Amino acid sequence: MKNLGKNQNSIDQEKKSRRDFVKKSALFTGGAMLLPNLQMNAMVNVLNDKKLKIALVGCGGRGTGAAVQALNADDNVELVAMADAFEDRLQSSFMNIATALGENKKKLNVKEKNKFVGFDGAKKAMDLADVVILATPPGFRPEHFEYAVNSGKHVFMEKPVATDVPGVRKVLAAAKKAKESKLNVVVGLQRHYQDNYLAAMDHLKKDAIGKIVSGQVYWNSGGVWVRERKPEQTELEYQMRNWYYFNWLCGDHILEQHIHNIDVANWFIGEYPISAQGMGGRQVRTGKDHGEIYDHHFVEFTYPSGAVIASQCRHQPETMSRVSEFFQGTKGTVSTEGDNAAIKGWDGSTIFEHRGKDDPNPYEVEHVKLFESIRNGGVISDAENGAKSTMTAILGRMATYSGKVVKWDEAMASNLVLVPENLTWESPAPVNPNADGWYEIPTPGKTVVI
């Protein structure tokens, strides 16, 4: 069984803000917001006795892993519905969940009639649940999240939460409604639930390194899977199967993966950037099956406080791997990587150090916190920050694709839609190759991004 938790590879590769700012910012809304006492006590009593029903929407490796983690996070839950565009993915996920649960297999209670295949299956699955897991390719996240909130569901959704700006705006609107409706929303930016990052943040709130003025964040690795085209596939099915390489589905790896490190920059600085400029391209990953995305990006993000963050992400085999964050403040530095964290003064002294090889798995903790909050009448509201960190990564992609300085406010006003509405298997693919099978690659100076 793959991708169910925090394996050593994911730790190696995987492995909130200034005091006056956190009072008003979405960056620090990962905690609980309690209801008035009488209402809360009534809700707690009801929910503590209720078997919570879960629906899984998106049955790939990450969705399968998230379902197992959710089912192990609370004693009184069951998976009652599953949805995926492809039947083979759904059935494989079902079997893998059963295997992973072992003696807890009784929590897997998905009848055949509640296994939904196709584009319309997500809503049918969500209708049967109290809690939904949204783990499709991220292009579908805004539509699914909006429906979940409108249907009164608590949500765990994977990052990123959109691939285009209209999608970000839709998520922000739904996030506001979720908060007003006292729905719990956890976003899979699991560093917010990881001990070394939380410990480092506690020290930053105590002014351990002063004002952050610069930083470097990295996700440099050998890359991810690629799925070859099969003769019987339509263009739309091929793109759905090979989704990582198409921007309407994935958003490029600066968004789908590097968002983790970019989000840490936003969190530690306590702000979202006002502009970005950068460069990128494809030098190694250049096949037809590599679609339209880059294999490297470098971006400078400028923040309202004047801080400048240098962001690197690379997917090139046989190159240096680095997944980490490093920030410089007026009084010292903070570094985070894997399960570790360190804060040092400019005089070389060690102010704080965290070695977390025995820390709990943050991929599990985020689900434990979600169900604890539901049971206890709290509200976790991760969606606004998830949307704004998604927007930060999109801002970086706009900068590398265009070769221009892109300002946050201008980008947020964009109406450039990547994800079509009301897709069916008869719909044309949103992008198409030329007669030789090549997709158009973004070209700085020519590509329109807003």
Q: Do residues 132 and 54 make contact, with C-beta atoms less than 8 angstroms apart? A: yes
Instruction: Enter the tokens of residue 351.
Output: 């102010």
CATH architecture of the domain covering 195-359+391-401: 2-Layer Sandwich (3.30)
**Cα-atom radius of gyration of the chain, to the nearest Å?**
21
Q: Is the pLDDT of residue 35 over 50?
A: no
Domain ranges of the chain: 8-191+363-382, 195-359+391-401
pLDDT tens profile 179-199: 999 999 999 999 999 999 999
304-316 average pLDDT score: 99
What pLDDT is recorded for position 46? Answer: 59
The amino acid at residue 9 is N
Burial of 244 (0-12, 13-18, 19+ CB in 10 A): buried
Residue 300, beta-bridge partner list? 277, 310
435-439 average pLDDT score: 98
The CATH T-level fold of domain 8-191+363-382 is Rossmann fold (3.40.50)
Burial of 266 (0-12, 13-18, 19+ CB in 10 A): buried
> Mean pLDDT in the chain?
93
Instruction: Enter the tokens of residue 362.
Output: 């943050």
The amino acid at residue 275 is S
**Strand order in 212-221's β-sheet?**
350-355, 340-345, 332-337, 322-329, 212-221, 308-315, 296-302, 275-281, 406-407
pLDDT tens profile 246-296: 999 999 999 999 999 999 999 999 999 999 999 999 999 999 999 999 999
Prior bond of 160 cis (ω within 30°): yes
What pLDDT is recorded for position 49? Answer: 80
Rounded CA separation 131/148 (Å): 9
CA nearest neighbour of 55 among 134, 147, 112, 118: 134
112-121 average pLDDT score: 98
